[in-house]
C-alpha cells in the first residue's frame, strides 16, 4: 500500500516524467451549490479550502528501508513532503531488526540522521 500511495502522490505533484490524462469535468462544471453550514464551520478556524497543498507522507517499514537504500525513487517525493511520519510500530520494528542484525549500530546511526531531518516526525 505504501508503494501505491507514494506513486499516487508522485503523480499528483508532477514528479513522474510522463503526463497522465485527466478526466474532463465539463459535465459538472458550474454545478457547485453554496453550503452555508460548511462555510460557517470553517469561519474563524484559520482553515481555508484554497492555498497550497501540504504533502504529508507516512512511511511503513519497507518505505523507510527503500528510501534509505535508494532502491526506488521516493526520495524526490520525500524531499518535497512538508512532513514525513514514521509510526511508533515502524520504529519498533526497525529497532528490533537492528538489535538482531549485524549492522545494528550503523542502522541506528542512519535512522538518527533520518529522524533529524527537518519535517521528520
pLDDT in tens, 66-121: 888 765 554 567 777 888 899 999 999 999 998 998 999 999 999 998 888 888 87
For the record, the C-alpha cell of 35 comes out as 453550503
Residue 109, domain member (yes or no): yes
Residue 48 is assigned to a structural domain of this protein: no
* 30 within some domain: no
Q: How many CB atoms lie within 10 A of CB 57?
A: 22
Longest CA span, the chain: 62
Contact yes or no for 114/46 (Cβ under 8 A): no
Q: For the chain, give the number of residues.
A: 121
Domain contains 22 = no
Does residue 90 sit within a domain? yes
Containing structural domain, residue 61: 55-121
DSSP string, 103-116: THHHHHHHHHHHHT
Instruction: Cell numbers for 40, please give them.
Output: 460557517
Task: Establish if 9 belongs to a structural domain.
Answer: no
Domain-located, residue 46: no
pLDDT tens, position by position, 30-50: 777 777 776 666 555 555 556
In the DSSP assignment, the letter for residue 45 is T
DSSP state of 63: H
Residue 91 belongs to a domain? yes
**How many domains does the chain fold into?**
1
Q: Is 17 helix (H, G, I), strand (E, B) or coil?
A: coil
Amino acid at each position: 500500500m505504501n508503494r501505491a500511495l507514494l506513486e499516487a502522490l508522485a503523480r499528483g505533484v508532477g514528479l513522474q516524467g510522463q503526463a497522465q490524462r485527466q478526466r474532463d469535468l465539463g459535465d459538472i462544471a458550474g454545478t457547485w451549490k453554496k453550503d452555508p453550514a460548511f462555510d460557517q464551520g470553517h469561519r474563524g478556524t484559520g482553515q481555508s479550502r484554497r492555498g497550497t497543498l501540504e504533502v504529508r507522507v507516512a512511511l511503513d517499514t519497507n518505505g523507510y528501508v527503500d528510501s534509505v537504500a535508494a532502491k526506488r525513487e521516493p526520495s524526490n517525493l520525500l524531499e518535497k513532503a512538508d512532513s514525513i511520519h514514521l509510526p511508533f510500530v515502524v520504529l519498533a520494528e526497525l529497532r528490533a531488526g537492528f538489535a538482531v542484525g549485524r549492522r545494528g549500530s550503523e542502522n541506528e546511526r542512519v535512522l538518527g540522521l533520518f529522524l533529524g531531518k527537518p519535517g521528520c516526525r
